[in-house]
Structures are given as C-alpha cells and as structure tokens.
Structure 1
C-alpha cells in the first residue's frame, strides 16, 4: 500500500543551489505538484502570471492573508510573498505529493499550519563551499554578500527544526535525494 502523499517543504540558505536542484528535479519528470507563490512585486521580463508567480496587488494579498488562503507569507525587500493553500490541499487530496521552496520563516509557518509536512533543508557540503558560491558570483556588493552569509549562518543553525537534510555537493545527487524524500525511492534514479 502506498503511503498518503505529503507536503514537502524545501528550504536552505542563499547560494545553496535550491533553484538548480529544483530544475533538475523537474527534468526528472516526477508527478509532483510544484507550488506557485503569490507576490505583490511586479513581473520581471519573461515572467508569466500563474507560472512563475501569481501576481496580485497589496489589497488582494492582505485579503488572502485575512481569509486564511495562504499557508505562509512574508515580506521581503518591500514585497509580499505567500503560498496559496488551496492548490496544495487539492494536489494532496488527489494523491499527488506537493513541494514548496520557501525560506526558513515560511517553513516554520507551514509546520504550524500543517504539522505533518516534511521539512527538508538543502545544505552546502561545507561552510567554505557556501562562501565560495556566494562570493564567486561577483555580481553583488560585498555588504550584500556579508548580509547573505549572516542570514545563511542563522538558517543553517535551524537544521534541528528540519526532518531531513539533503547536502548539495552535486545537483543530480541532491535532486535524486530530494525526489526520494518526496515520492519514495525511484527505480533507476
């Protein structure tokens, strides 16, 4: 008998490779519901409403919060972000595992709203590797990098709050490890 599908929450510090691991997981083609967040920020060039985000204005976002329509929500850099509850619950009711990629505070909110959710931390192989990844980009001001590293240290310190840890030393291996947690071991993966 197959276990009831559950919600899996992926979180980890900036620079750990969440986007790369999720892109690889999507390429693997599993039957997983990938949540699409709601945001109040304006779409960037090439972003499609309902694919990258659900773009809403601030009054609509506040209405969603007040009506309990979001599993979690937060403000970041002057914009609001949240995870719609209904699509996640619909996927789970249909027997499809659901996966969210959110930051630590959001993961804590989901744990409070859905205690049965599995929280997975994506971790770097070492602190030095994470520092290299963030400084190696060369695209951000050193003060911004320093702040990201400070936040990363806090996020990694929260590891005991998570049910599982997947180390991203190799994107394919990390994606396979995450896939096994979300849907169970996959033959040939």
Structure 2
C-alpha cells in the first residue's frame, strides 16, 4: 500500500514563547519529524547557521522567489520578511514525511488556505509577564524591539482561536509531549486513512 501523505504541521506562537525549544525537544523524541527551513531577510543571530536555522536572503533574492511563486507563504514581521519554500515541502509530504513549519500567524493563515488539512498548533506562554521576562532575558534586542514584540504578541494571542490546538509551554517536556500527542491523534483520523479502510 502507498504510504499516507505526510502531515503538514504549523507551529506558531509569540516570539519568546519557546516554540523553537518545544519543537526541538519533540524532534528529539520523534525522528520522523522534519522541520521546514524558512527563508528570511533578517540578519542571523549569534550561533545561527545558514541553511539550518534559516536561509538568510537579501531582500532582492526574496523578491525573486516571490515572483517565481516559489513560496508557499510569506509574511512581514518586525520589518523583516519570512517565507516557506514550496517545492521541497510538497515532495516530502508525498513521500509520507511529516513536515513542520515554525511560522508566524499571518503565514499560518495562508497555509490553512492552501492546505485545508494542515494541522495548526499555537504555542502559548504561561503568561504575558513570563513572555516579557523571556524576551528581556535573551538580551538579543534593545528595549524598544522587546516592546514591539510584546505589542505584536498581544495581537497574535488574539488569533490563537483560529488554530486547531493550543499547548502551553510552562514545561518544555510536557509541551513537547502534548505536541506529539496531537500528531498521533491526527494520524488516526478516518479522513487520513481512506486507503487503509478501502483495503479492508
């Protein structure tokens, strides 16, 4: 039997909510998960590697991808552009691989429009106060950028109801387990197992 098409999973959440940490732990526990590497026009942070964390592009190169319809979705966030390369994702899904997109709310809604069966998960911080403490604690941005991210976070949290699931990242291990439980449940849906049912 041909393998089921893989799950396209979207994980979003405010900057500083720890979605990357949750995803990293989930991928350690489930090696079948693949992270889609996004493209961005923002500068690399310390320790980030081109092609691993992001593909870091010039604004001109990003614009060329847009013109060629090479992005599944794209969004502007805090003055920088982010996008998801289309071709590789389609290929991996057709091979039965589960692909995770760690993207912003705007991009998630575009993915939902293009892939109605995508699984959208929103990563919540324990509280707004804790979120601000995490952003300040990173010491990667000046206070005015932290404030801008907090204002954006309030809007993003208002959009969480458009997602299929929410997880609270109060404890990374628990949040990663919740994330993996969602994927397990989705794989058992009858709508995703039509070939199996037809076999019987």
CA positional deviation for 1:49: 3.3
Conserved? CA contact 2:75–2:104, under 8 Å? no
Match of 1:20 in 2: 21
Q: How far apart, in 2, do the equivalents of 1:3 and 1:163 lie?
A: 21
Q: Which has the higher helix share?
A: 2
Contiguous gaps of at least 5 residues in structure 1: none
Match of 2:130 in 1: 129
* 1:73-131 alpha-carbon deviations (Å, 9 max, x no partner): 12345443210011111111000111000111111111122121111100122333323
The answer as to 2:118 corresponding to 1:86 is: no
User: 1:150–1:56: structure 2 CA closer, same or farther, 3 Å change rule?
Assistant: closer
Aligned residues: 185
Q: How far apart, in 1, do the equivalents of 2:141 and 2:38 lie?
A: 25
Q: How far apart, in 2, do the equivalents of 1:88 and 1:181 lie?
A: 20
TM-score by length of 2: 0.80
CA positional deviation for 1:148: 1.8
1:88 counterpart SS class: helix
Conserved? CA contact 2:9–2:101, under 8 Å? yes
Q: Which is worse superposed, 166-175 or 137-146?
A: 137-146
Q: How far apart, in 2, do the equivalents of 1:184 and 1:12 lie?
A: 21
Conserved? CA contact 1:7–1:117, under 8 Å? yes
The answer as to 2:80 corresponding to 1:115 is: no
Q: Which is worse superposed, 126-135 or 39-48?
A: 39-48
TM-score by length of 1: 0.84
User: 1:47–1:173: structure 2 CA closer, same or farther, 3 Å change rule?
Assistant: same
Conserved? CA contact 2:123–2:167, under 8 Å? yes
Q: Which runs of 4+ in 1 moved over 6 A?
A: none
Q: How far apart, in 2, do the equivalents of 1:32 and 1:177 lie?
A: 15
Q: Residues 46-125 of structure 1 correspond to what in structure 2 (within 5 A)?
A: 46-125=47-126
